[in-house]
Structure 1
């Protein structure tokens, strides 16, 4: 029978009596049934457990991948030429997890087979149950139901047979040699990961290609990512990650503990986790974050080398986190916060300091153009009713929590309500999506050495995005879902402000910084005109509009500046700066302009093409001060992916990738990578010739899909001069004729 497993019998012998000791009667070895083979029916059970897409299940020797809380079939054959007799024979299956399994602690499932033909199983009470399904002279078929809160991971199995009349006889014991994977089961209501709207699980557990939104508030797009949770390398790698977390086996069934451990182990900062973070722009020692197309290659390398993989950034951490969560059966999605705050001192503010000469100072606080984390779905019995559901977890190492770099799970409801006292890291997430931005300038006459300029209550958390469930747009953004409302009330509303003040009451630093009185009305009104996006190779302008609302002239000291920045807000290169003094007439209106040309910014552009402009002004007569900044993106071209009209499973098909060099300079060291689960067996890299100035090129590649269905394909182009150029397509694979 396919999937049958070889068995080894464990001989059980009595210990010899010590000399001069009292001799007791030694029980005879039972004349019980002898196992010939056992099959966990990996393929049949996989269909019922929604695990058939795992490649481990489809190997020549299938590996059982099961979900807890749901019954599965076991088929046993005995050597004796008689059927198993429930009245005469005893049969016990013992499932064990961890080094010291214990049924009381939930790490051992002891199943005594009962003759129960009823359709209803006992209520979930933390125990495992089994019943006889069918028995004849050839084989015995059983149904086993694991506990709905059983630990997640690799289980072992042994079987004991005996004769009921021989209660004192030693049973025959057989050990199963192969691993049994047991996963979360969000389709079962007694599982802590249960999701009532089960159609959503097609996305949040079973979808293996998705999107991660990147960019700026004005210009953002969904970058495709291959989660690949069903790849044969992923589940063993995920289990290796959990082993490195050193969780007590008794809590390995708790999604709260599991998700928090994943947020710790996907980064390498504490426990030699999966990925090394790098935002420097120098990736010579590893792979540039922008070159990854999915999680499989990362997890495969991590598991095989047992060393952290170089390099990742927040969206790569989030992609890998979703892969691990979905592989384990924990519903998960990737979330992008456009204009995300990093509050380093728990003040619920991002404080921007400038020196006498209007140069920005590093204070530890920062604003990221975008930051990506994850949400996982689970019950929260440790919190008051109503705080379950989506929980934010963040694997990007920013600040420590309980002494290590981990974040969450934080209830979205707690974040929205400002409930900073609830576990875990709620206050940090509130700051990320809703911190006030406060500007300060060095001033020796001020009490603390800095004068507060102005503050913005609506700059952070401009839009929070995820991929819409069960919708996929390969080339557009029709699958984008705005979930800002899940994190906070409408910006500027009374409820939103009340939430922030509620959160501030639970933090000493927040009371000191956030609950400051507003500034009095000033004479001059300043406006920095936002830029949406600029095509690479085009020029742009910084424009500041100034309106004098009094009858006296005013003298201004103004600085305008443009810099290239990494997406986490860290300045890469100063591109252009202008400073000077000028007068504005009474009731006058002026516009200050600073033009930046391609020849000025292109040599200093860094990955993702992020730019920051800021302006600082001081009114000399009144000491009124003002500052503002804006982030935008230099937009790069997309790769056009052409797929044949007919793609057939197990047959070679040709793809065409077309890209135009937008620059007036040659691109060197050009590479194209593409990947797609079920379309390709691995990531493909093509080394390309140099691409001339404004030249359009087409590269051909092949795919041999392994099975029919609709799948996603992701492509990434990189060169010395132009990075992180992406493209994607949907591939409809037809069955073999």
Structure 2
């Protein structure tokens, strides 16, 4: 009898994709179908295939073996070798191949493959080995197409399983989202196109994991995979995806505010195989969610408003002042770097069980790909269980202490004091300042123009501020840290008979003036002489000061039981030339009372507000037919805008990202451009737009539109 030779093997990419929730991957739906197809399935769930041979399969004389392998040096965990059998019984921790049907007329066998539920994820190679039982000679056939096997959060035995599987529509299958950016009073959702189903994403993710030199046999553990993703999305250690930059100098790359989504970044990374300039926290976080959702790890983007960066593990954010209450921009006790407070900071939550920890710490885990501090010698952070952060259990893996400080550190102010043992005495401590809101996108809602889709999940990260549970969780962390204990030991009650209050500024439209005011009340029976300073500064969102906009210093006398106020007026011409990206401003006030040496300091952040881009279509959108998108907004400045450029992104149009230069716009003038678009998907599609000019940057807008059949 002649040997059994493989003519073709086929894995029904479209049919298998339906039960595996992988139908939306572009690579599965290549249109029109070509010979090159990509099969994308999830682990621990059977999928079907068919083999065609040169002659009918003879059960009594032929053996057919399928060999699945991952990586160039397959080991036990990264190889599955199975014989096709009629009576194969699937087992959730092993491979099997069951014969479903033998076609005598057309030389085919159809079969069902079952994979282990803890299988490493990635692009698996398939080989078919046939031989006659009567002969040792083997015939080998290699399948030349991609077969991706992903995490399976729909399967109760998978470590990524989410009990409320409805939520997977949001946390795995939704390809558009919102990232909340900006200071607490003016935070707004910035639309972000995740695009995890784009044909370029899975190959880029495989390249990332290889670039991080992640062992293939670790790729089945979502804890290890998420930790590696937090490291490889930044380029600090190992030529990862994005270069972080926060100084406003982006001429040799793309400014972080110009990105509309993750796909352009991952496509650039894969094509040139080098890091992409530039990212900031929400860009890192957007890419992490794309990568996790593509692999099947449920993920959400999380924004912490007023976020602490604790550089010395004291669980406090420490600000230092001279004897006359001038703020120091360094930490005299930490040569490595000063603590800082970011207006907001964005990271990710990923969902998984934690068999590596005691029971009770599964569920959402925080990971942060923005390079801030090293963990185990590399710029990576997490996964840190939200439950451990909430309870202050800092000994658990990974980086719970850093995340606890981010959302719940106390702000402590210290003034140089030669008479104090440590050289500094405490000005005040604020338990409420850090971690005011923790926002993510509400499942199943997308509001392109407003904030109906905003969800505050602060209760998942910490107990209510000021409650006994919240204080205990923080003190629980302090108890385990010798350094933190020393800082908290000094926080004694100070006697103060003057109250100071810095008035909040809520919103300032760009081009309008604002006033900084401090109210001073003397609660004593004696007059008081007070030295005070008020400053307005432009700041980067990570808390780094850019330029001083206006400052006044002076003395004021406040009579017994009297009220006074001090203020400065800041005009547009004072601040417009000094604004940096995202238009964040900080107002700071400091005071010291001559008679009692009582000192006080406070600051407040707000954002100068800019308009949104309006996206309109003058006709119904019909699949395959050209249409016109009209993008517009009014120039809010009293000067022209030059070097204008719009960028429009959607997964539902030909070309995905379109750019258009626009002519100069005069002061207070409507700037409007028309962009030709061609829809290529039926149903609801989302658009995200950004705008930049020499005078005004970081303007964006979004729209959801229905596309109809022709």
TM range (shorter): over 0.9
Match of 1:381 among 355, 373, 377: 355
Query: Does the aligned pair in 2 maintain the 1:615–1:628 contact within 8 Å?
Result: yes
Query: Does the aligned pair in 2 maintain the 1:647–1:734 contact within 8 Å?
Result: yes
- Aligned counterparts of 1:673 and 1:434: Cα–Cα separation in 2: 38
SS in 2 for 1:148: coil
Structure 1 match to 2:40? 65
- Aligned counterparts of 1:131 and 1:617: Cα–Cα separation in 2: 79
- Aligned counterparts of 1:259 and 1:299: Cα–Cα separation in 2: 17
Query: Does the aligned pair in 1 maintain the 2:536–2:587 contact within 8 Å?
Result: yes
SS in 1 for 2:292: helix
Structure 2 match to 1:34? 5
Q: Deviations over 1:297-353 (max 9, x none)?
A: 111111111111111100101111111111111111100000000000000100011
SS in 1 for 2:576: helix
Give 1:661-676 correspondences, 5 Å limit.
Answer: 661-676=635-650
Structure 2 match to 1:284? 251
Match of 2:92 among 111, 117, 124: 124
Match of 1:96 among 69, 91, 105: 69
Task: Please tell me whether residue 269 in structure 1 is matched to residue 213 in structure 2.
Answer: no
Give 1:694-705 correspondences, 5 Å limit.
Answer: 694-705=668-679
Give 1:183-582 correspondences, 5 Å limit.
Answer: 183-362=150-329, 363=331, 364-582=338-556
Query: Does the aligned pair in 1 maintain the 2:429–2:491 contact within 8 Å?
Result: no
SS in 2 for 1:510: helix
- Aligned counterparts of 1:529 and 1:439: Cα–Cα separation in 2: 19
Structure 2 match to 1:14? none
Q: Deviations over 1:180-228 (max 9, x none)?
A: 1111111111111111111111111111111111011111111001111
Structure 2 match to 1:154? 123
Structure 2 match to 1:51? 22
Query: Does the aligned pair in 1 maintain the 2:533–2:551 contact within 8 Å?
Result: yes
SS in 2 for 1:415: helix
SS in 1 for 2:18: helix
Task: Please tell me whether residue 602 in structure 1 is matched to residue 569 in structure 2.
Answer: no
Q: Give 4+ residue runs of structure 1 displaced > 6 Å after superposition.
A: none
- Aligned counterparts of 2:325 and 2:664: Cα–Cα separation in 1: 43
- Aligned counterparts of 1:554 and 1:359: Cα–Cα separation in 2: 20
Structure 1 match to 2:335? none
**Pair member with larger Rg:** 1
- Aligned counterparts of 1:111 and 1:649: Cα–Cα separation in 2: 45
- Aligned counterparts of 2:461 and 2:340: Cα–Cα separation in 1: 20
- Aligned counterparts of 1:253 and 1:367: Cα–Cα separation in 2: 36
Shift of 1:720: 0.9
Shift of 1:735: 2.3
- More deviation, 311-320/347-356: 347-356
How many residue pairs match? The answer is 697
Shift of 1:517: 3.4
- More deviation, 570-579/63-72: 63-72
Query: Does the aligned pair in 1 maintain the 2:535–2:589 contact within 8 Å?
Result: yes
Structure 2 match to 1:112? 83
Shift of 1:72: 0.8
Shift of 1:644: 4.2
Give 1:635-714 correspondences, 5 Å limit.
Answer: 635-644=609-618, 646-714=620-688
Query: Does the aligned pair in 2 maintain the 1:31–1:162 contact within 8 Å?
Result: no
Shift of 1:44: 1.4
Q: Deviations over 1:575-631 (max 9, x none)?
A: 011111111111111121111111111111111110000111111111111111100
- Aligned counterparts of 1:344 and 1:308: Cα–Cα separation in 2: 26
- Aligned counterparts of 1:357 and 1:507: Cα–Cα separation in 2: 32
Shift of 1:359: 2.9
Question: Closer, same or farther in 2 for the Cα pair 1:680/1:319, shift >3 Å?
Answer: farther
Shift of 1:102: 2.4
Question: Closer, same or farther in 2 for the Cα pair 1:645/1:388, shift >3 Å?
Answer: farther
CA RMSD of aligned residues (A): 1.4
Shift of 1:357: 4.4
- Aligned counterparts of 1:360 and 1:648: Cα–Cα separation in 2: 60
- More deviation, 626-635/33-42: 33-42
Shift of 1:114: 2.1
Query: Does the aligned pair in 2 maintain the 1:38–1:74 contact within 8 Å?
Result: yes
Shift of 1:515: 4.0
Query: Does the aligned pair in 2 maintain the 1:295–1:323 contact within 8 Å?
Result: yes
SS in 2 for 1:216: coil
- Aligned counterparts of 2:654 and 2:541: Cα–Cα separation in 1: 31
Shift of 1:261: 0.4
Q: TM-score, normalised by structure 1?
A: 0.93
Q: Which runs of 5+ in 2 are unaligned?
A: 332-337
- Aligned counterparts of 2:432 and 2:382: Cα–Cα separation in 1: 24
- Aligned counterparts of 1:536 and 1:517: Cα–Cα separation in 2: 40
- Aligned counterparts of 1:108 and 1:374: Cα–Cα separation in 2: 32
SS in 2 for 1:595: strand
- Aligned counterparts of 1:355 and 1:702: Cα–Cα separation in 2: 59
- Aligned counterparts of 1:474 and 1:487: Cα–Cα separation in 2: 27
- Aligned counterparts of 1:86 and 1:492: Cα–Cα separation in 2: 73
- Aligned counterparts of 1:34 and 1:513: Cα–Cα separation in 2: 75
Shift of 1:433: 0.3
Question: Closer, same or farther in 2 for the Cα pair 1:504/1:609, shift >3 Å?
Answer: same
Give 1:608-627 correspondences, 5 Å limit.
Answer: 608-627=582-601
Q: Deviations over 1:108-163 (max 9, x none)?
A: 1112222138xxx63412x1111011111212100001111111111111112233
- Aligned counterparts of 2:709 and 2:359: Cα–Cα separation in 1: 49
Query: Does the aligned pair in 2 maintain the 1:707–1:735 contact within 8 Å?
Result: no
- Aligned counterparts of 1:667 and 1:384: Cα–Cα separation in 2: 58
Q: Deviations over 1:11-38 (max 9, x none)?
A: xxxxxxxxxxxxxxxxxxx854221111
Query: Does the aligned pair in 2 maintain the 1:43–1:62 contact within 8 Å?
Result: no
